[in-house]
A and B are shown apart, each in its own frame.
Chain A
Amino acid sequence: MPIEVAPHLLQSSAVMSFNWPSWVSAMDDPAKSKIAGKIEFTAMPSARRPGVAGLGAWLFTIPRASPNVELAREFILWATDAKQMRAAALLGYPPTRGSVFLDEDLLGRYGAFPAQLASLETARSRPRTAKWNELENVFGVYLSQANAGRLGAAQAMEKANREIEAVRERAE
């Protein structure tokens, strides 16, 4: 279960993982973590250039039909303001601004900040598709089978590729 990933790292019963930024802040908190000061952070690896992949991101959006577009815009500007982002970061939430990632005080608290900033600067959004859930499911199933040793890595990726092509063809 994805939600169990962070506790395993915090309890030192896992070696490494991909993690959401909102789970990372606890890693450096000795009250919550057995690995404070003993863990390294880095951006997601990529075969083409470092840090291209991204796990995902949460967004503020304003619905096109919203009757309060201006008010919503004002709220977003307020919520992502450096002052609010700093306050949120002190509660463990990941900032959205470079200036907050470079804040000396916060850098002392959160060792993952430089890696998180590097990740944000190099991450590239995947192509948008309405079929993402299905594609992700196919990829996840075969990746898991390779991980469990039921399929070889190459065979799993070939099968995933074939199935993803089929999903794309059905969508056309």
Chain B
Amino acid sequence: MRSPIPEGVKWAGPAVALLFALSVYPLAYSVKVSLTAPGGGFTLRNYTRLLSDEFFHAAAAQTLFYTSAALIVEFLLGLGLALLADSLLRGRGLFRAGLLAPMLLPPVVAAVIWRLMYNPQFGVLNGTLRVLGIDTSKITWTSGEGSAMLSVLLVDIWEWTPFIFLLLSAGLQAIPAEPYEAARVDGASAWQVLRDVTLPLLRPTILLALVLRAMDLMRIFDQIFILTQGGPGFATETVSLYIYRTAFRFFNFGYAAAMSFVGLAVTTILTRSLIRLINPRRTR
């Protein structure tokens, strides 16, 4: 006798149930939490508070600055290194392996290493500068209001430029030789080849690399948490850190959930804008 339950439901059911339990239900629950007042009942206060919360505004501005700065520098460096690796006749494998090493470290480990290096008193950076005769008494790296953001940015650039390099390097290798041969026959300069052949053919890979990094950067947490915990003061606080602090130090889960949903919406809008900017023909 045939079972009344279709075969497809039997096979897909457990996976769908697991997905529902681990993803859909928590998401729906967090929407409910963000719309629930401390004493119970419906409220929009967690969302309206976002408009007047100076800490959230500062964290959002710093997240945008961090994302933009890291994305631009990592892309330019990654592209330059990928072009350099592609042009090498010998030692390309060694060059690639050496460049990829930082990316292979867990972000927490990389951050701990840099935290030790940044230590103004015992770190290797100030130690080296002192050996060179430079006065390091005012070089405080992650402890200075002005230098902390640049210090955490440097760690991100060091660790994640190899990711862009890896993707663009793979993209460069996938470009066929014929367009280059045609450009040479037409007498194109190196700059013209880069502008009119390499970059247009590399566009899908560039798009992928930028979108993946942008999404990753907008939720940056681990490196900054280890390096500065958002300090000194609020100098390196990002939205993810502020959400963490609100949820797990201030125990205000409703407001943390509201910030998470707004962060998700902003990330989606920015990512789509980025796709539209780079690839205007494929906006759907």
Contact = CB atoms under 8 A, between A and B. Distances in A.
Please tell me the size bucket of the interface on B.
20 to 34
A157 to B, nearest CB: 14
A148 B120 CA distance: 17
B250 A150 contact: no
Contacts of A148: 144-146, 232-233, 235
Contacts of A1: 143, 229
B138 interface: no
A133 B250 contact: yes
Interface in A139-163: 140-145, 147-148, 150, 163
Interface string B47-82: 000000011000000000000000000000000000
Interface in A42-99: none
A163 B143 CA distance: 24
Given A8-B121, A13-B121, A137 B249 contact: yes
Interface string A118-144: 000000000000110110010011111
Given A4-B119, A7-B121, A8-B121, A144 B249 contact: no
A35 B227 CA distance: 28
A11 interface: yes
Contacts of A150: 145
B234 A134 contact: no
Contact of A11 (B54, B121, B143): B121
B233 A140 contact: yes
Nearest to A135: B250
Contacts of A163: 54
Contact of A144 (B54, B119, B122, B231): B231
B145 A144 contact: yes
17 contacts: A1-B229, A13-B120, A13-B121, A130-B251, A131-B250, A133-B250, A134-B250, A134-B252, A137-B245, A141-B55, A141-B234, A142-B233, A144-B233, A148-B145, A148-B146, A148-B233, A163-B54
Interface of A: 1, 4, 7-8, 11, 13, 130-131, 133-134, 137, 140-145, 147-148, 150, 163
Interface of B: 54-55, 119-122, 143-146, 229, 231-235, 245, 249-252
Given A4-B119, A133-B250, 10 more contacts: A1-B143, A8-B121, A133-B249, A134-B252, A137-B249, A141-B55, A144-B233, A144-B234, A145-B234, A148-B144
